[in-house]
Amino acid sequence: MDTDALSGGFADAPVQAAHAFRAAMTAMAQPGRIRQVAGAAPPAPLSAAAGTLVLALCDADTPVHLTGVHDTPMLRDWITFHTGAPLCAAGACSFAIGVWDALRPLDRFACGTSDYPDRGATLIVETDRLEPAGATLQGPGIARQAALSLPETDVFRRNAARFPLGLDFFFTCGDRLAALPRSTKVTS
């Protein structure tokens, strides 16, 4: 293990984890609303927002899958050291991390079952831009409608049509994040 993997975690873990967890849950409850988060300084290429989510949401019982440029020895060591989360194949993960193209095809991730719809994976999508513009969002947690810069719309439309099954998404850029739960309807 590279000793650099030992740094970059929460300095005040109980307080920062609580703030990060609340930000993540508020983002899921208010789809499309962009939030700023802080606390983690993960190794590149993981953003501060994605690192903060990992520290707040992952533990020894939440398998993580890394894709593309995010699947590095340094990042694997950092996640393992700070969270204890096991690294696994796409079909067995609770969380997957990567850029949109590396996460595709999405059908390799668990979408839950009729008995356990909550067992669908959550994807942390690293983006170059995160803006309240682009695709139109409607559904629970949105007063009338919201907008969010998504990499595409059809896949999210199909995902919402499977509700209560499906995938949940966090989009991260720098120190900002937004969420798109499977219950959100997306139009262009």
Q: Tell me: pLDDT of 70 over 70.
A: yes
Which residues, including other chains, have CB under 8 Å from residue 146's CB and lie 6 or more apart?
31, 32, 33, 132, 136, 137, 138
* pTM of this structure: 0.96
Which CATH number is 19's domain given?
A: 3.40.50.11310
Q: Tell me: pLDDT of 3 over 70.
A: no
* Averaged pLDDT for residues 131-152: 96
Q: What percent of the chain has pLDDT over 70?
A: 98
Which residues, including other chains, have CB under 8 Å from residue 161's CB and lie 6 or more apart?
none
Q: Is residue 111 part of a domain?
A: yes
Enclosing domain of residue 139: 3-183
pLDDT for 7 equals 84
Q: Is residue 41 part of a domain?
A: yes
Q: Is residue 23 part of a domain?
A: yes
Task: Count structural domains, the chain.
Answer: 1
Q: Say how far apart CA 120 and CA 161 lie, in whole Å.
A: 14
Model confidence at 21, in pLDDT bands (50, 70, 90)? very high
pLDDT for 2 equals 62
pLDDT in tens, 91-127: 999 999 999 999 999 999 999 999 999 999 999 999 9
pLDDT in tens, 71-93: 999 999 999 999 999 999 999 99
Q: Is residue 162 part of a domain?
A: yes
Q: Is residue 92 part of a domain?
A: yes
Q: Say how far apart CA 121 and CA 64 lie, in whole Å.
A: 10
- Assess contact for 138 and 131: CB atoms under 8 A: no
Q: How many CA atoms, within 13 angstroms, populate the side-chain half-sphere of residue 110?
A: 22
pLDDT for 188 equals 84
Q: Is residue 19 part of a domain?
A: yes
pLDDT in tens, 146-169: 999 999 999 999 999 999 999 999
Q: Is residue 188 part of a domain?
A: no
- Assess contact for 120 and 110: CB atoms under 8 A: yes
The DSSP bridge partners found for residue 19 are none
